[in-house]
């Protein structure tokens, strides 16, 4: 049993955790540096706009910092100008604040500001309530603070460039593999124990959980590709194309396991009694398949001969015709899972992970 410190070290060694910690560090450093420059060094009015903009600008990758950061900067600048104009026209007061916020929320539905719309309103709220300075020099200070936040966010995100995310995506593929293997073994154990409709229904739900992990893996693969754009740490080609192929195959594998789970579930609901000539060797096949799917180094291809032998034995066994659609479907799904898992396991991105 691992100790708490061992579990902590293992958690900290995970690439996705390290990437998130780097993101947190970048955000904090950019915000603190922007505050020091705007407040301590330049003594700007409403210097908080500098760290505020820096936090909005720093993103997980260099590319996203530029693309999404541009929107955040535009939204902040619009908010600053809108607040200034509102105070110039209506002075400080509740009515001015309300009308300015109404206009700001309207801007939130327009073009580039759509994804950063609330930033416009939040900036208006901060600027109007935090200062009584209505001079043009005050407006210049606020825009300067915004520019400082942008510049320092870009500097920090370049110096501490976003790590390439291939390793995180590969780790997620491994977790999906292990989850798929464990599900197959649990299905075998359930069948061995004459599972009823309750646990078999849970198997279908677990395939949906694997689908959600797969969605997360797809996001990581996209970030792996995105993290190479404009990244000074890029030293090699991203493996995201191969990872995309692997995830597509895993999607097919999860779909096959879900189909198998549903067949077993429907059989359990109907209280069908499986023939021992099929049930026992199929459970053994399912358990061994799950065991090998959990281990990325294990060979699953030889299990194809198991499915061929099982189909051959059953065809000569004089089983009732009524059972053949069920048995044949399960055997074909097992064969498809073997092919998919073998394809995934032999991929370079999986073996190098």
- Which pLDDT score, from 0 to 100, does residue 235 have? 46
Separation between Cα atoms, residue 259 and residue 257, nearest integer Å: 5
Residues 28-57 pLDDT 10s: 998 999 999 988 888 887 788 888 888 877
DSSP alpha helices (H): ranges in the chain? Answer: 4-12, 15-35, 49-57, 62-90, 94-107, 117-130, 136-159, 166-192, 197-226, 240-269, 276-294, 303-315, 324-345, 348-351
pTM: 0.62
Residues 297-341 pLDDT 10s: 667 777 888 888 888 877 765 555 556 778 888 889 999 988 888
The overall average pLDDT reported for the chain is 77
CB atoms within 10 A of CB 95: 10
Work out the average pLDDT over 75-98: 79
Out of 66-80, 94-108, 124-138, 311-325, give the one with best mean pLDDT: 94-108
Distances (CA, A) of 119 to 69, 104, 209: 12, 9, 34
DSSP assigned state of 165: -
* Region of poorest pLDDT, from 74-83, 113-122, 230-239, 313-322: 230-239
Separation between Cα atoms, residue 116 and residue 37, nearest integer Å: 25
> Where does residue 161 fall: left (phi above 0), alpha (psi -120 to 50 degrees), or beta otherwise?
beta
- Which pLDDT score, from 0 to 100, does residue 246 have? 84
Structure tokens at 91: 């002075």
Separation between Cα atoms, residue 159 and residue 150, nearest integer Å: 14
Residues 158-214 pLDDT 10s: 777 555 556 667 777 788 888 888 999 998 888 888 765 567 778 888 899 888 888
CB atoms within 10 A of CB 5: 8
């Amino acid at each position: 049993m691992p100790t708490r410190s061992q579990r902590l070290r293992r958690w900290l060694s995970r690439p996705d955790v390290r990437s998130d910690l780097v993101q947190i560090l970048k955000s904090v450093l950019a915000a603190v540096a922007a505050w020091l420059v705007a407040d301590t060094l330049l003594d700007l009015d409403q210097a908080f706009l500098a760290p505020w903009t820096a936090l909005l600008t720093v993103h997980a990758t260099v590319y996203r910092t530029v693309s999404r950061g541009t929107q955040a900067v535009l939204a902040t600048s619009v908010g600053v100008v809108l607040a200034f104009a509102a105070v110039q026209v209506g002075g400080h007061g509740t009515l001015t604040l309300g009308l300015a916020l109404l206009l700001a929320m309207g801007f939130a539905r327009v073009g580039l500001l759509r994804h950063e719309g609330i930033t416009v309103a939040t900036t208006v709220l901060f600027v109007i309530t935090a200062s009584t300075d209505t001079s043009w020099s005050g407006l210049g200070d606020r825009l300067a603070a915004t520019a400082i936040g942008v510049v320092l966010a870009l500097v920090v995100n370049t110096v501490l460039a976003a790590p390439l995310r291939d390793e995180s995506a590969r780790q997620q593929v491994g977790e999906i593999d292990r989850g798929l293997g464990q599900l197959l073994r649990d299905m075998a154990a359930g069948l061995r124990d004459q599972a009823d409709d309750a646990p078999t229904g849970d198997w279908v739900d677990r395939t949906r959980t694997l689908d959600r992990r797969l969605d997360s893996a797809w996001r990581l693969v996209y970030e792996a590709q995105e993290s190479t754009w404009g990244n000074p740490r890029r030293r090699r080609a991203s493996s995201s194309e191969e990872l995309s192929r692997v995830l597509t195959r895993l999607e097919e594998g999860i779909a096959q396991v879900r189909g198998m789970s549903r067949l077993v579930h429907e059989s359990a609901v109907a209280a069908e009694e499986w023939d021992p000539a099929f049930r026992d060797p199929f459970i053994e096949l399912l358990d061994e398949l799950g065991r090998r799917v959990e281990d990325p180094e294990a060979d699953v291809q030889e299990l194809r001969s198991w499915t061929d032998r099982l189909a051959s034995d059953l065809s000569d066994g004089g089983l009732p015709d009524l059972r053949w659609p069920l048995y044949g479907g399960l055997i074909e799904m097992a064969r498809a899972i073997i092919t998919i898992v073998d394809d995934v396991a032999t991929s370079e991105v999986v073996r190098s992970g």
